[in-house]
A = this chain, B = another copy of it.
Amino acid sequence: MKIGIIGLGLMGGSLGLALKHIKLVSKTCGFDHNLSHCEEALKLGLVDEIVKFSEIKKCDMIFLAIPVEAIISVLQNLKDIPKNTTIVDLGSTKEKIINSVPKEIRSNFIAAHPMTGTEKFGPSAAVEELYHDSIVVLCNMDESGDIHKNRAIQVFSHIGMKIVFMEAIEHDKHASFISHLPHALSYALANSVMGEEEPKSILLLAGGGFKDMSRIAKSSPLMWKDVFKQNRKNLLHSIELFEKELNKCKAIIKEEKWEELEKWMSNATTLHKIL
């Protein structure tokens, strides 16, 4: 099976590396509108070959590893692919993308969200084990053709992913809590410190806690502004729920209700019984 990967950054590049060791993949072809990314990806061996967009269309399976707004526009240019070609998007939002898929290729299409990543981006960020042992959410699979479902399940399983099926609406709600809200908080925390008079002398003291909390504030603004755009309503809702919790904390501190604070903190620690 010939695989095409559109977008050779962290997600696409890591996928190329992971697919190298899978027997059912005979060749990987890469495409990126950024020419220096193409060169770098080839040099790093992320894909076997760099091809034109028209050549990507001839692959058996095409992965879209580009920002979510770009996924929507590229999908409009894939209307004429053969019936047996599978398209898989790896975007962090699902509903808007699924709704944008041209009718002609809806059954070719698999909506996937691998729950993995790092704060780094670009071809040099690619790592072979990125997908291994992570979860991939596949959405609205009823609307996808059997051959395409099976292929996607096979490939994701072969690179060591655990598959979870979910409706796109539900996915987008959950993702806003588990991924998009944490990004908003991390960016806001970083901006709070950068807004202070002496960020350098503050950051001198940064321990593991702060480093962890600010790590994802390194993530690509180009990619994340699109995610926030597409999951706008859910994200606003989860930000509001977060604000309520933070307000609760603030009120408790203001009113000096220390036993209540301990309870509020203890409730938070119960999360780790599930996680």
Contact = CB atoms under 8 A, between A and B. Distances in A.
A268 B183 CA distance: 11
B236 A184 contact: no
Contact of A261 (B192, B201, B228, B271): B228
Contact of A208 (B118, B207, B224, B268): B118
Given A174-B201, A175-B205, A221-B266, A189 B195 contact: no
A241 interface: yes
A51 interface: no
A169 to B, nearest CB: 13
A267 interface: yes
Contacts of A74: none
Given A184-B246, A213-B185, A254-B236, A207 B275 contact: no
Count identical subunits in the complex.
2
Contacts of A184: 246, 249
A135 interface: yes
A248 to B, nearest CB: 8
Contact of A190 (B188, B241, B271): B271
Interface string A110-124: 000001111000000
A137 B205 contact: yes
A210 to B, nearest CB: 5
A196 interface: yes
Contacts of A216: 209, 212-213
* Residue in A212, A239, A241, A271 whose Cβ sees the most chain B Cβ within 10 Å: A271
A165 B189 CA distance: 25
Interface of A: 115-118, 134-135, 137, 164, 174-175, 177-179, 181-196, 199-219, 221-222, 224-226, 228-229, 232, 235-236, 238-246, 248-250, 253-254, 256, 258, 261-272, 274-275
